[in-house]
């Protein structure tokens, strides 16, 4: 297994992502872009990339803050604020990570997915709205809102979002607006709602933050991962 840090530039910022691939196997294979949670590129996103590599994918965990590391909470909010209000800048940083993934010799450019967690899920969705050539996109406890819902018509692949039914950061009205956006855009989409789950349900360290509405939920973590793999089997893997 090859696991390596990859420096690159996005939006004028020096980023450091993580590439994971089983280089003992020859031939191209599907690629998966992994977009981290709000605090920054950490063991959670890196671990997901490594799990995907072990399953036979080329996985690249991008960096959208810079430096390839998680940030203290106050710095995180300072970085996230401008991105949350600027989908075009968000897409720019996602596209830079996608370019790294596509540039790897083992990545099949015709079979690529993007997944993301928290704001990383929002980023993956914005990447799809940019018209990027993605077979599928998966958001885990991702913000669903955008200031450019009309761009849903540019989405080329299938969309899956996995949301905790009790997530205070993705309330029912946001879910309904997303449903309308997907319908009007003619997107092949699905939304999985998981009872008993709040925000960051995939991150085992989420509960340690002591933030209200943020907690790990193992059943939902495992169920949403399987839902993602089902979509990958449908869209990325040979029949």
- The pLDDT of residue 239 is 59
Q: What is the mean pLDDT of residues 222-233?
A: 98
For 84-138, the pLDDT digits (tens) are 999 999 999 999 999 999 999 999 999 999 999 999 999 999 999 999 999 999 9
Please report, for the domain that includes residue 124, its CATH number. 3.40.50.1820
Looking only at the bridges linking them, the beta strands covering 136-140 and 2-10 are: unpaired
DSSP the chain: -EEEEEEEEETTEEEEEEEEE-TTS-S-EEEEEEE--TTBS-HHHHHHHHHHHHTT-EEEE--SSSTTSB--HHHHHHHHHHHHT-HHHHHHHHHHHHHHHHTSTTEEEEEEEEEEETHHHHHHHHHHHTT---SEEEEES-----S-GGGGGG--SEEEEEEETT-TTS-HHHHHHHHHHHHHHT--EEEEEETT--BTTT-TTGGGG--TTB---HHHHHHHHHHHHHHHHHHTS--
Tell me which residue has tokens 């360290």.
Answer: 205
For 52-72, the pLDDT digits (tens) are 999 999 999 999 999 999 998
Q: What is the mean pLDDT of residues 188-198?
A: 98
For 26-52, the pLDDT digits (tens) are 899 999 999 999 999 999 999 999 999
Looking only at the bridges linking them, the beta strands covering 158-164 and 189-194 are: parallel
The residue segments making up the domain with residue 84 are 2-235
d(CA 104, CA 170): 35
- The pLDDT of residue 208 is 84
**Which residues lie below 8 Å from residue 103, measured CB to CB, with a gap of 6+?**
none
**Which residues lie below 8 Å from residue 214, measured CB to CB, with a gap of 6+?**
198, 199, 200, 206, 207
Q: How many domains does the chain have?
A: 1
b/e code 134-159 from CB counts within 10 Å (16+ = b): bbbbbbbbbbbbbeebebbeebebbb
b/e code 194-223 from CB counts within 10 Å (16+ = b): beebbbbbbbeebeeeeeeebbbbeebbeb
Banded model confidence at residue 8, pLDDT cuts 50, 70, 90 = very high
- The pLDDT of residue 207 is 85
Q: Is the pLDDT of residue 152 over 70?
A: yes
């Amino acid at each position: 297994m090859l696991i390596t840090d990859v420096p690159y530039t996005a939006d004028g910022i020096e980023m450091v992502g993580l590439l994971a691939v089983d280089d003992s196997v020859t031939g191209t294979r599907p690629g998966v872009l992994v977009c981290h949670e709000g605090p920054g590129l950490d063991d959670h996103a890196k671990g997901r990339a490594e799990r995907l590599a072990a399953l036979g994918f080329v996985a690249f965990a991008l960096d959208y803050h810079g430096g390839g590391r998680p940030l203290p909470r106050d710095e995180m909010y300072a970085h996230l604020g401008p991105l949350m209000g600027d989908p075009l800048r968000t897409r720019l940083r996602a596209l830079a990570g996608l370019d790294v993934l596509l540039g790897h010799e083992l990545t099949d450019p015709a079979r690529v997915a993007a997944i993301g967690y928290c704001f990383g899920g929002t980023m993956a969705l914005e990447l799809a709205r940019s018209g990027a050539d993605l077979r599928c996109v998966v958001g885990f406890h991702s913000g669903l809102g955008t200031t450019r819902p009309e761009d849903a018509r540019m989405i080329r692949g299938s969309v899956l979002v996995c949301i905790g039914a009790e997530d205070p950061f993705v309330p029912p009205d946001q879910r309904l607006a997303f449903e309308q956006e997907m319908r009007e855009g003619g997107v092949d989409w699905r939304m999985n709602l998981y009872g008993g789950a709040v925000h960051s349900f995939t991150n085992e360290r989420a509960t340690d933050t002591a933030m209200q509405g943020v907690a790990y939920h193992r059943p939902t973590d495992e169920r949403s991962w399987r839902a993602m793999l089902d979509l990958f089997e449908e869209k990325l893997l040979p029949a």
